[in-house]
Amino acid sequence: MGSASEILPSIESLKSLDEIEQLATKKLSKRAWSFNYAAAGDLISKQLNTDVYRSILLRPRVFIDVSKCDLTTTIMGHKVGLPIFISPMAMARLAHPTGEAGISEACRALGVMHMISNNASMTPEQIVAGASPDQIFGFQLYAQKERKESEALMARVNQIKEIKCIVLCIDEPVPGKHELGTGLNAYMGMNPLGPPTPDPAGVSVAVPSVSGPASDLTWEGTLEWIAAHTDLPVILKGLQTHEDARIASGFAQVKGIVLSNHGARVLDTAPPAIHTLLEIRKYCPEVFDKVEVTVDGGIRRGTDVVKALCLGAKAVGIGRAALWGLGAGGVAGVERTLQILADEIKTTMQLLGVHRIEDLGPQHVNARIVEQQIYDAR
């Protein structure tokens, strides 16, 4: 959206995710920018997703040897280079022709897990085609009204060895209300306001739904159905209360949960993931021993990642930031996004006096301001 004569900065010169978003905003079409930027309602949850991290303070320790710092960890038992994963984001080819395969290529360079969107603009086979032998992926699944659609997709995913888990998205039984730009339905042929307007670049969902996402899912029935069609571990994405986290942890099929308000795209004034994480710590800490707990939404700095890890998250997801990187500079833009976060995570850990991810804990943060804001279960 920048002027033709404007001289834009190089990817290598960008120092923060904010600068990457600013560059992407100048380079993307208004339609692509709107698709990535949009959130539900008045964008209150979207802003809170970021602001909540600003209310958590770090507690640096000194006189500790941090000359070596290891950022590796595991997700679902698989080693990754950073405690970061790419959250499922639809329609990446709106940002750049390399699309989701470009994100995958950037992830390969830094050892980052990529959760592929059910609504990706490339097929899962195309997205993993250039993966390294040790690269891992998850696959986000929306259960469709006509379950046979999802069953066929699971059968297809089961054959892709790079995909290590099914990420069942459960926080959008009905679409949220967006008031900015074109929503996903237009690209799937399900625009309630009329027929879809084809994107000028010919971008569409690679594996479109015919029947549409289901709104009749239940705990027992859905998880039994999933287990009947895949042996892959199941991660539930979109939990926003400690009550649901406790329920999820009681099912043998569920190996992980992602605390998420869907990037604030579904229900405005829904809580940020950090609130839910603190709820779990307060009301049902046993959940951390039963399932892997991860979070996403609002990450702008490596300090944000470290704060979530200190409070019990196993890893932290980024969504919009990956597409801003893609829009700013293709594969190199996503790599720069991840490298900035990696550098900031390392520096933060060293200044806290920590040299391994597993040594981060609640003693390294002061979250009292946010703790006052979480749900009171009394």
pLDDT score, position 378: 82
185-205: average pLDDT: 52
Work out how many domains the chain is built from and give that number. Answer: 1
In a domain, 9, yes or no: no
* 106 annotated to bind ligand: no
pLDDT score, position 198: 45
In a domain, 3, yes or no: no
pLDDT digits (tens, 9 = 90+) for 305-327: 999 999 999 999 999 999 999 99
pLDDT digits (tens, 9 = 90+) for 93-141: 999 999 999 999 999 999 999 999 999 999 999 999 999 999 999 999 9
pLDDT score, position 189: 40
* 265 annotated to bind ligand: yes
275-291: average pLDDT: 98
In a domain, 1, yes or no: no
Cα–Cα dist 74/15, whole Å: 27
Task: Tell me which residue range forms the domain holding 312.
Answer: 17-371
**Residue 192 binned pLDDT confidence (cut-offs 50, 70, 90):** very low
pLDDT score, position 196: 40
Per the CB < 8 A criterion, the answer to whether 251 and 219 are in contact is yes
In a domain, 378, yes or no: no
pLDDT score, position 179: 76
**Residue 2 binned pLDDT confidence (cut-offs 50, 70, 90):** low
3-7, 282-286, 336-340, range with the lowest pLDDT: 3-7
pLDDT score, position 194: 35
Please pick, among 114, 242, 262, 275, the residue that the annotation labels catalytic: 262
End-to-end CA distance of the chain: 50
* 3 annotated to bind ligand: no
145-168: average pLDDT: 97
* 368 annotated to bind ligand: no
pLDDT digits (tens, 9 = 90+) for 220-271: 999 999 999 999 999 999 999 999 999 999 999 999 999 999 999 999 999 9
Q: What is the CATH number of the domain that holds 107?
A: 3.20.20.70
Q: What is the DSSP letter of 206?
A: S
In a domain, 79, yes or no: yes
Per the CB < 8 A criterion, the answer to whether 52 and 274 are in contact is yes
Classify 44 as helix, strand or coil. Answer: helix
% of the chain with per-residue pLDDT over 90: 89
* 117 annotated to bind ligand: yes
Q: Is 114 a catalytic residue?
A: no
pLDDT surpassing 90 at residue 330: yes
Helices within the chain (DSSP H only): 17-27, 30-37, 44-54, 99-110, 124-128, 147-158, 185-188, 219-227, 242-248, 273-283, 287-290, 302-310, 320-352, 368-371
**Residue 188 binned pLDDT confidence (cut-offs 50, 70, 90):** very low
* 147 annotated to bind ligand: no
DSSP track, 70-132: B--EEETTEEESSSEEEPP-S-GGGT-TTHHHHHHHHHHHHT-EEEE-TT-SS-HHHHHTT--
pLDDT score, position 101: 98
Cα–Cα dist 301/321, whole Å: 11
In a domain, 11, yes or no: no
In a domain, 202, yes or no: yes
In a domain, 5, yes or no: no
Mean pLDDT, the chain, rounded, equals 93
pLDDT digits (tens, 9 = 90+) for 76-95: 999 999 999 999 999 999 99
* 333 annotated to bind ligand: no
